Amino acid sequence: MSQANAILGLLTETSLHAGIGQTLGVIDLPIQRETQTNWPFVYASSVKGSMRSLAEEKWDDKKLVKEIFGPEMSHGTSNRYAGALAVGDARLLLLPVRSLTSHFKWVTCPDLLRRFLADCRRLELPENFKMPETKEMALVSTEQHNKHNIDFGLFFEEFRLKPKADDDQLDAVITTIAALMGREDAETALKNQLVVVNNEIFSHLSRYATAVNAHIKMGDTKTVQKGALWYEETLPPDTLLYVPLVAQAVNVIEQIQNLFEHPYLQVGGNETVGMGWCKIEVVKDDTELDTPNGFL
């Protein structure tokens, strides 16, 4: 059977809360995080559910929705067949972090880039850059280094980092990441704002540089109800995630591209207050594969 692969880029334009329910920690409603790294991510089931909801809204052909996404599960029924599209977790690639050097920086690390390349390799998509090889605490473009005169240092939260300018290592990284962002000015923006920090610093930033917002509940008298205060964690706007897509036929990826003709998808909770809206970009290999007769 023929197979077509792609990567779905999700650039958040509003805060995103993909939660795990209520916990007993300091943050009542934390976001989803990987167990082994503690990096933020979004479950594949959440992304696929959002895509399916959009398809049901836009497509008149309900049979096509079932063939691509599979039949919906209900109590007392079994799933007779899988859908033609396999959707992976939404993995973190760029985290926006506030900085005294400029309004914010897009931060990533070698392990995130290494995993992105591994996903490209598994999906048989081009690996368009080599891993940055440096022991420096931060890599930036020459343009960013000169524009902001950051010889004195980069400031993230409580960190002051000594940056190194290295276009040879970053140019291809910037070009590849820009293709996932769905912005005409993506390359220019990344040259001015992308910073590659070491894994240890990124681990701290990904844990403590996310937004935590306090919420209250009002009573009938328009005063705060006693005990009705909770804290909710969100991923900030301008976070870049990516989703591996594996389809059992080439035209399935084409259908997904058509689904995002208006390139936006709402992911996670709190849709009624405008959260979770992402700009979508589908990046695929242009290699043409044969589609089995009669499929879709």
- Residue 288 or residue 269, greater confidence: 269
Beta bridge partners of 176: none
Residue 296 falls within a domain, yes or no? no
Interval 153-177: pLDDT, tens = 788 878 888 888 889 989 999 999 9
280 vs 132, higher pLDDT: 280
Q: What is the pLDDT of residues 102-154, one digit of tens each?
A: 789 999 999 999 999 999 999 999 888 888 876 767 888 888 878 766 667 78
Please report the DSSP string for 200-256 in residue order: HHHHHHHHHSSEEEEEEEE-TTSSEEEEEEEEEEEBPTT-EEEEEEEESSHHHHHHH
Tokens representing residue 11 in the block = 């650039």
Per-residue pLDDT, 41: 96
pLDDT at 21: 64
pLDDT at residue 22 greater than cutoff 90 = no
Which pLDDT band holds residue 292 (cuts at 50, 70, 90)? very low
Q: Are 208 and 31 in contact (CB under 8 A)?
A: no
Q: What is the pLDDT of residues 204-234, one digit of tens each?
A: 999 998 989 888 777 777 676 776 788 889 9
Tally of structural domains, the chain: 1
pTM of this prediction? 0.89
How far is Cα 46 from Cα 32, in angstroms, rounded to an integer? Answer: 11
Token pair belonging to 255: 């259908």
- What is the per-residue pLDDT for 131? 83
Range of the domain at 94: 4-18+32-209+235-284
Rounded to the nearest integer, the mean pLDDT of the chain is: 86
- Tell me whether residue 215 is in a domain: no
In a domain, 111, yes or no: yes
Q: Which tens digit of pLDDT belongs to each residue from 63-87?
A: 999 999 988 766 555 556 678 999 9
What region does 48 belong to: left with phi over 0, alpha with psi -120 to 50, or beta? Answer: alpha
Note whether residue 200 is domain-resident.
yes
Looking at residue 291, its pLDDT comes to: 35
Condensed to tens digits (0 to 9), the pLDDT of residues 183-211 reads 999 999 999 999 999 999 999 999 998 98
Distances (CA, A) of 188 to 24, 101, 146, 168, 179: 43, 17, 14, 16, 12
User: What is the pLDDT confidence band of residue 243, given thresholds at 50, 70 and 90?
Assistant: very high
If one compares 220 and 271, the residue with the highest pLDDT of the two is 271
Q: Output the pLDDT for position 294.
A: 31
Q: 104 near 153, Cβ under 8 Å?
A: no
- How many whole angstroms from its chain centre is CA 245? 13
In a domain, 220, yes or no: no
Assign 287 a pLDDT band (cuts: 50, 70, 90): very low
Task: Give yes or no for residue 24 having a pLDDT over 60.
Answer: no
- d(CA 228, CA 213) in angstroms, rounded, equals 14
Task: Assess if residue 64 is contained within a domain.
Answer: yes
Give the DSSP letter string of 149-175.
Answer: TGGG-EEETTEEE-EEE-HHHHHHHHH
Nearest to 115 by CA among 39, 21, 25, 185: 39
Nearest-angstrom CA–CA distance, 93 and 116:
8
- Give 30-58 pLDDT, tens digit per residue: 899 999 999 999 999 999 999 999 999 99
